[in-house]
């Protein structure tokens, strides 16, 4: 398990907990970054994605990121093709993904005590495989992904849908997030937010 150091979680004041996945609940960001680099290199755009840019865009849907890279670097990458390649390169590294210990322990402590959901900018296919490989597929009542909403993070849609599915008012939900886009999304949804430091991100900030 990855470790984020001493971290305090609230014990009351919320009726449901909603967790981001990558970088919050699981230590998958190094594998995602390498997958992005491989996918972009495959389509002739290697070297443009630096770690600081990667973390700044964390939490956003893959297609949205490719569109922004096209705009920023005057590229003509096919978002769907790059997204598919990135997914396949990540899945090859799935065995390197581990739980982030403190967050996983907090989630486990809430099991059976209140509703819990995943709200992620990732695709359902990848997130379900990620949760399965770290052994927590059955921890959550709902899993909401970028496939389930029109507008991904930083729009609040994913968090609002998770709250609705859990049957809890957004203001009564505690959201745990590591990425700027996700934090903005949860705050815009009116939730209480805990910003989780990502193990790798700390080294590039």
Average pLDDT estimate for 140-163: 96
Domain ranges of the chain: 16-28+97-203, 30-94
In the chain, the percentage of residues whose pLDDT exceeds 90 is 80
* 168 neighbors 129 (Cβ within 8 angstroms): no
Q: What percent of the chain has pLDDT over 70?
A: 93
Q: Please give the model's pTM, rounded to 2 decimal places.
A: 0.87
User: Which is higher by pLDDT, 62 or 17?
Assistant: 17
Residue 17's contacts (CB-CB under 8 Å, 6 or more residues apart) are 107, 110, 114, 115, 116, 117, 173, 174, 175, 176
* pLDDT value for 67: 93
Q: Which residue has the tokens 């997958």?
A: 35
State mean pLDDT over 52-59.
82
CATH code at 30-94: 1.10.150
What's the pLDDT at 200?
46
| Cβ–Cβ under 8 Å, residues 86 and 36 | yes
What is the set of active-site residues? Answer: 20
Query: In which band, very low, low, confident or very high, does the pLDDT at 2 lie, cut at 50, 70 and 90?
Result: low
At the second CATH level, the architecture of 16-28+97-203 is 3-Layer(aba) Sandwich (3.40)
């Amino acid at each position: 398990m990855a470790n984020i150091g001493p971290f305090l979680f609230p014990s009351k004041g919320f009726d449901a907990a909603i967790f981001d996945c990558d970088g919050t609940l699981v230590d998958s960001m190094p594998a995602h970054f390498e997958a992005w680099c491989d996918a972009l290199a495959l389509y002739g755009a290697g070297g443009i994605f630096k770690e600081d840019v990667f973390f700044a865009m964390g939490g956003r849907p893959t297609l949205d990121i490719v569109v922004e890279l096209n705009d920023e670097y005057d590229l003509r990458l096919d978002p769907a093709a790059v997204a598919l390649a990135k997914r396949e390169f990540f899945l090859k590294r799935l065995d390197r993904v581990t739980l982030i210990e403190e967050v996983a322990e907090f989630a486990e402590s809430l099991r059976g005590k209140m509703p819990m959901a995943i709200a992620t900018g990732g695709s359902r296919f990848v997130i379900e495989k990620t949760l399965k490989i770290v052994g927590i597929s059955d921890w959550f009542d709902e899993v909401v992904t970028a496939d389930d909403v029109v507008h991904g993070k930083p729009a609040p849609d994913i968090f609002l849908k998770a709250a609705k599915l859990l049957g809890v008012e957004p203001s009564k939900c505690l959201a745990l997030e590591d990425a700027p886009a996700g934090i903005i999304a949860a705050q815009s949804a009116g939730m209480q937010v805990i910003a989780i430091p990502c193990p790798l991100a700390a080294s590039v900030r």
